[in-house]
Structure 1
Amino acid sequence: MNLGELKNQSFPRNYFGQWEKKAEESLKGKSVKSLTTTTYENIKLKPLYCGEDEKPAAAFPGGSDFRRGIYPLGYITNRWQIAQRISYQTIEELTEKLQHAFTRGQTAISFEISSGLLENSEFLEKLVKDYSSKHPFAINARSELQKEMVNLLAKITENQSDVLVVTGYIGSDPLSSFVIDGILPKNDVLYFADWVKSIKFANDNFPSLQTVLINTSPYHNGGANAVQELGIAAATGVFYLQQLLAGNFTLEQALAKMIFQFSIGANFFMEIAKLRAARILWDKITEVYGADMEWRGMQIAAETSAFTKTTYDKHVNILRAGNEAFAAIIGGIQYLHVSAFDEIIASSYFSERIAGNTQLILQDEVLLEKVIDPAGGSWYVEELTRELAEKAWEFFQEIEANGGILNVVKTSWLQREVAVVNEKRQLDIFTREKSIIGTNVYANLEEEGFTGKKRSDRLFSSNRQKGQHPIQPIPQLRLAEPYETLRNKAVGLKEKIGTQPMVGMICLGILKHHKAKVDFIKGFLAVGGIYGAASDPVISSESGIEFVKNSHLQHFCLCGSNDQYEEIGHEVLLALKAEFPESVFYLAGLPEKERQNQWFAEGIRQFIHVKSNCYEILSTILTDLEVTVDE
């Protein structure tokens, strides 16, 4: 073959049907449709997306519905702001950390506002003089603290001879505070009128500062799915827009004050699509209000999820946060905070450095700032974006039909909707349909857990006052917490009895007959902080009795092949139950239905298999052990 012939070679064109046929051959009788999965958003994900799934979309970023971003050249002309939220105990520590952060790539001023901080006008004055002209703010504040800080900044800048420009956002979202605390003002009309006045004051003094935050993180941390987060964001945005317009803001002034905050979860492509769909929704809403295109682009501040993080095997959080940060950047955000791997309890210098470097790597080594909308044109991402936007629009309309965001919070309709999704999430981790590495699978028994305050206790303190109206709060959760509670309970038992809580494993037959089941049960028990103590091969009732007698344990699990269960399992179990009637016996695996009643009649409490409710079984075992120790 000469060079000319080589250049003219081409691969034969393949069709979806050919791929489907080949895929089904490898599935050994199953159909390709069996690979379809359903998300918490009730979106069916196909095993393959192709050109047939292509739908009309924006031709370029910065145009049409803004799904591809709000800037034509993306991060090339408008880099995302590295807004690592700085933790501190003292003003001195905050001052030092800020200075250090800006020398290491931080580009936005970000920390939590406290009452103590606002009492130190000297610090704020120095902050404004040294950094505000170079770096935007990126602060989420409660409305009362926001008002106080803006007032202080106004006094400080009033005394300066030079004109100081304050940019970025010092935003408040009263509604998100209400659903965290479980309260509403007794007179919400008066409350929001006063809130709008403070936003007006901020606008008069700092026209370039955004002060209205639509923060969906509390709903995300309560277990909401992406559709709910988007619908809530849209409804909250409309509510605040109405408040500002009623307070004599022009439409353009009101839109310029608004910024949206999202937590980015573990489902990589879903989170990319969530951010893209958010811009579609806001573009549609603001267009209905009559806004020109230049005011319809949604500004987004993102943070990696607290809901997905764990206290056990904490270094896995580095990977989780990296995945979430990657999704946020591809989704097209303007500000980003990457959580430290131990941020749940109290971050360290090392963990904070790793978190900051995650953004720097994505910016300067992965070069995400050099690619304009890398997700654009992906059949999968575009289809997911479209489905999310449509379902979120329906949820937004449902909120509005129920009286708007304030009313659905008052009546607890929204709280119930979020709780339904969270219950499904919990069931999936209890049955291990969904994995949390190092927590409900592949747990390390040697690792010690954390003691101390959880993130939700530290960041979201109560703000109850007399005369306020109680509502159902949305609890700030983490998906791993139930299993961490089990691990902590096991630690408490270990301190009382001097050894790791154990379950004896009765290994039926030779190694090859029981090894697979023993390995499975050991991993199953470990996620609850329980050690699986394996016997020598049990080939008779006598050897089984000897193991149980010498173990001094209360709970046991029979492990073996199905053949071993039928050959000696029943005999061994009957002998053990007769000799040790108070002991509890489990069976590894799930026998056929017609054989299950026999096992129950002979003394098996429960079958432990891949579809078992892991959390429920381990919780029962630990509770039994606690009762025994207390007695």
Structure 2
Amino acid sequence: MQQGNKTTAPEVDFGEFAPATYAEWREAAVAALKGADFDKKLFTKLVEGITLHPIYNKWDEHAPVAPAGQFPYRRGTRALGYMEKPCEIAQSIPASTPEDFNGKLLHDLDRGLTAVNVQLNCKCGLKLRKQADWDTALKGVQLDKLPVYITPGSCGLGTFSMFLNTYKAAGFNTADLKGGVLYDPVGKAVMKGSLCGGKGICACYDQMAVMTKWAVANAPAFQTIGVSGLPYADSGASSFEEVGAMLSTAVAYLRAMEERGISVNEAAAHMRFTVSIGANLFLEIAKIRALRELWAIIVKECGGSEEAAKIKLHAHTSFWTLSKVDPWVNLLRGSAQAFSAIMGGVDSIDVLPFDAAVRMPDEFSRRIARNCPLILLGECNLDKVVDPAGGSWYLENLTDEASRKIWDVFQGIEKEGGIIKALKAGTIQKKVNATAAKRYELADQRRQSIVGVNQYVNLAEKKLETPEGAACAAPKGHGCCK
């Protein structure tokens, strides 16, 4: 249609298309299956204990969901999503020495990295044991402009002190401090099998309280409490077991901080969650949205404000799904997982390089991994849409179901007396081990397809080269192909 110099699209009338009922969709699907059983063929049972349906339509409507920026934040904590605050590219730097870390960090900051991610005390990772190490590792970095996220070992307070010394020595104002020293003693204990140092969890809470009180008084945008789901996810836990344990850990930290004179609002404001992003694209989107919503409800029920209930959420693609066999397929896995994280609306993301299960990632693999979220955000325009998953009958119902399942896990842990007692009793470990065993069983029986690993194996595959001294495989027991 021409109006002056402007061309407008003609109006489209959809009145001729009558809405299809579930029965009509089912009838068409049955015909297409040519005799195959509809229920067995098209309903998908997941290890998480839920069944995905083949058809969702307007008869699957759910309760109204508040817009993005409104409590309980299922659709995001900011009204304009990434247009208001971009997703941070917080890729961790695989390095063995402070000098190596600094060189790679400065290189990657010029090529898309927007946040510093320091992973300490990893099996084959970075160790910064003295002040000079910190000064070297962060030399030349604009610490007042960039958020710096640090995952410490058992001594959070020592890490915190040395990082602050480096920051202050560079002449920066602590009021501008961004990022956090994400101290997570429960998560560290799960990874190692026991609390480090032999002083007990109360001593760890004391360290956390000292750090948090300093941040409350001096650096309002700096987080001092970490809650990580990686130890559970990397052991084979279901998405719901992972998030349920995270919520119970976070509640334990809220209680411990209150006992030490830190309010719910103050503790929640200085807490950051790290969630693993697995292989089931839509389920991971729903998991993120459910976690954000449930945490908001918990904080408010504990007496916190709606502002304090806004979660800070970092996403880390799954080590469990990385394959040593046919590792190039990990490029596709990482891309899909990054898509899930961004669709779910995380605040920052770390995509694992495709070769991380085989060797120390090189410049090429780091660049490809870093480019996954950069392309999704900048070229696919996912940073221009607020909660693109919102309103989907499938995803809203999946989020509802995820919330119920996660809440059941959380309540089960709380009934045992909380995360520490449940871990000491071994109940969480037993459930996670059972889930991991089920995953292996499904893969071994080819009832769960892992392309290139258990379906289309290339017997003539040439393995990736591993330069001497550059090996950095996944921790024992992790990854879908040990």
Do the two structures share a fold, i.e. TM-score over 0.5? yes
Listed one character per residue, the Cα deviations across residues 286-337 of structure 1 (whole Å, up to 9, x for unaligned) are 1111212111111110011110011121110000000000000001100100
Listed one character per residue, the Cα deviations across residues 188-226 of structure 1 (whole Å, up to 9, x for unaligned) are 334433443344345445332101111001100111111
Tell me which amino acid in the other structure corresponds to 1:42: G
Name the CA distance, whole Å, in 2 between partners of 1:6 and 1:288: 48
Q: CA deviation at 1:7?
A: 5.7
Q: CA deviation at 1:156?
A: 3.9
| Corresponding position: 1:216 with 2:217 | no
Q: Is the 8 A contact 1:220 1:263 kept in 2?
A: yes
Tell me which amino acid in the other structure corresponds to 1:388: A
Tell me which amino acid in the other structure corresponds to 2:191: I
Which of 14, 17, 29 lines up with 1:11 in the alignment?
A: 17
Which of 76, 80, 84 lines up with 2:87 in the alignment?
A: 80
TM-score, length of structure 1 as denominator length: 0.69
Q: CA deviation at 1:255?
A: 0.7
Which of 50, 58, 61 lines up with 2:65 in the alignment?
A: 58
| Corresponding position: 1:69 with 2:76 | yes
- Residue of structure 1 in register with 2:130 after alignment: 119
| Residues 159 and 120 of structure 1, relative CA distance in 2, 3 Å threshold | closer
Structure with the higher helix share, 1 or 2 = 1
Name the CA distance, whole Å, in 2 between partners of 1:246 and 1:15: 56
1:315 aligned counterpart, secondary structure: helix
| Corresponding position: 1:319 with 2:337 | no
1:281 aligned counterpart, secondary structure: helix
Name the CA distance, whole Å, in 2 between partners of 1:237 and 1:113: 21
Q: Is the 8 A contact 2:275 2:316 kept in 1?
A: yes
Gaps of at least 5 residues in structure 2 are 1-9
Q: Is the 8 A contact 2:187 2:228 kept in 1?
A: yes
| Residues 207 and 422 of structure 1, relative CA distance in 2, 3 Å threshold | same
1:295 aligned counterpart, secondary structure: coil
| Corresponding position: 1:373 with 2:387 | yes
| Corresponding position: 1:269 with 2:282 | yes
- Percent identity of equivalent pairs: 34
Q: Is the 8 A contact 1:219 1:418 kept in 2?
A: yes
Q: CA deviation at 1:98?
A: 1.6
Tell me which amino acid in the other structure corresponds to 1:140: T
Which of 139, 160, 181 lines up with 2:150 in the alignment?
A: 139
Name the CA distance, whole Å, in 2 between partners of 1:355 and 1:373: 23
| Corresponding position: 1:351 with 2:365 | yes
Which of 11, 27, 31 lines up with 1:25 in the alignment?
A: 31
After the TM superposition, which residues 12-411 of structure 1 pair with which residues of structure 2 at under 5 Å, given as runs? Answer: 12-34=18-40, 35-113=42-120, 116-121=127-132, 124=135, 127=138, 130-144=141-155, 146-159=156-169, 163-164=173-174, 165-184=176-195, 185=198, 187-344=200-357, 345-411=359-425
Q: Is the 8 A contact 1:168 1:209 kept in 2?
A: yes
- Bigger relative CO (Cα 8 Å, ≥ 6 apart): 2
Listed one character per residue, the Cα deviations across residues 402-441 of structure 1 (whole Å, up to 9, x for unaligned) are 1110001111111001111111111001111112111111
Q: Is the 8 A contact 1:121 1:152 kept in 2?
A: no
Which is higher, the Rg of structure 1 or of structure 2? 1
- Residue of structure 2 in register with 1:455 after alignment: 473
| Residues 307 and 18 of structure 1, relative CA distance in 2, 3 Å threshold | same
Listed one character per residue, the Cα deviations across residues 166-207 of structure 1 (whole Å, up to 9, x for unaligned) are 111220211111111111346333443344334434544533
Q: Is the 8 A contact 1:68 1:276 kept in 2?
A: yes
2:276 aligned counterpart, secondary structure: strand
Name the CA distance, whole Å, in 2 between partners of 1:427 and 1:116: 37
| Residues 51 and 91 of structure 1, relative CA distance in 2, 3 Å threshold | same
1:64 aligned counterpart, secondary structure: coil
Q: CA deviation at 1:380?
A: 0.6
- Residue of structure 1 in register with 2:478 after alignment: 477
Q: CA deviation at 1:82?
A: 0.3
Listed one character per residue, the Cα deviations across residues 5-37 of structure 1 (whole Å, up to 9, x for unaligned) are 996862233222112112112223445333212
Q: Is the 8 A contact 2:321 2:479 kept in 1?
A: yes
Gaps of at least 5 residues in structure 1 are 458-474, 482-631
Q: Is the 8 A contact 2:98 2:128 kept in 1?
A: yes
1:280 aligned counterpart, secondary structure: helix
1:214 aligned counterpart, secondary structure: strand
| Residues 230 and 89 of structure 1, relative CA distance in 2, 3 Å threshold | closer
| RMSD (Å), alpha carbons | 2.4
2:79 aligned counterpart, secondary structure: coil
Name the CA distance, whole Å, in 2 between partners of 1:5 and 1:73: 29
Name the CA distance, whole Å, in 2 between partners of 1:8 and 1:207: 52
Q: Is the 8 A contact 2:98 2:133 kept in 1?
A: no
Listed one character per residue, the Cα deviations across residues 427-470 of structure 1 (whole Å, up to 9, x for unaligned) are 0011111121111111111124467855344xxxxxxxxxxxxx
Tell me which amino acid in the other structure corresponds to 1:241: L
Tell me which amino acid in the other structure corresponds to 1:206: A
1:294 aligned counterpart, secondary structure: coil
Listed one character per residue, the Cα deviations across residues 235-267 of structure 1 (whole Å, up to 9, x for unaligned) are 011001111111111221111111110110000
Q: Is the 8 A contact 2:96 2:127 kept in 1?
A: no
Alignment size in residue pairs: 461
1:153 aligned counterpart, secondary structure: helix
1:261 aligned counterpart, secondary structure: strand
Q: Is the 8 A contact 1:139 1:169 kept in 2?
A: yes
Q: Is the 8 A contact 1:118 1:148 kept in 2?
A: no
| Residues 417 and 454 of structure 1, relative CA distance in 2, 3 Å threshold | farther
Q: Is the 8 A contact 1:58 1:64 kept in 2?
A: no
Tell me which amino acid in the other structure corresponds to 1:225: S
| Residues 162 and 137 of structure 1, relative CA distance in 2, 3 Å threshold | closer
TM-score, length of structure 2 as denominator length: 0.90
| Residues 150 and 47 of structure 1, relative CA distance in 2, 3 Å threshold | same
Name the CA distance, whole Å, in 1 between partners of 2:224 and 2:369: 26
Q: CA deviation at 1:58?
A: 1.9
Name the CA distance, whole Å, in 2 between partners of 1:297 and 1:325: 22
1:110 aligned counterpart, secondary structure: strand
Q: Is the 8 A contact 1:228 1:395 kept in 2?
A: yes
Name the CA distance, whole Å, in 2 between partners of 1:447 and 1:31: 38
Listed one character per residue, the Cα deviations across residues 553-584 of structure 1 (whole Å, up to 9, x for unaligned) are xxxxxxxxxxxxxxxxxxxxxxxxxxxxxxxx
2:275 aligned counterpart, secondary structure: strand
1:13 aligned counterpart, secondary structure: coil
2:119 aligned counterpart, secondary structure: coil
Name the CA distance, whole Å, in 2 between partners of 1:274 and 1:110: 23
| Residues 323 and 8 of structure 1, relative CA distance in 2, 3 Å threshold | closer
Name the CA distance, whole Å, in 2 between partners of 1:143 and 1:128: 25
Tell me which amino acid in the other structure corresponds to 2:478: L
Q: Which moved more, 1:146-155 or 1:117-126?
A: 117-126
1:132 aligned counterpart, secondary structure: coil
Q: Is the 8 A contact 2:356 2:472 kept in 1?
A: no
Q: Is the 8 A contact 1:137 1:169 kept in 2?
A: yes
| Residues 198 and 24 of structure 1, relative CA distance in 2, 3 Å threshold | same
| Residues 283 and 155 of structure 1, relative CA distance in 2, 3 Å threshold | same
| Residues 206 and 121 of structure 1, relative CA distance in 2, 3 Å threshold | farther
Tell me which amino acid in the other structure corresponds to 1:155: N
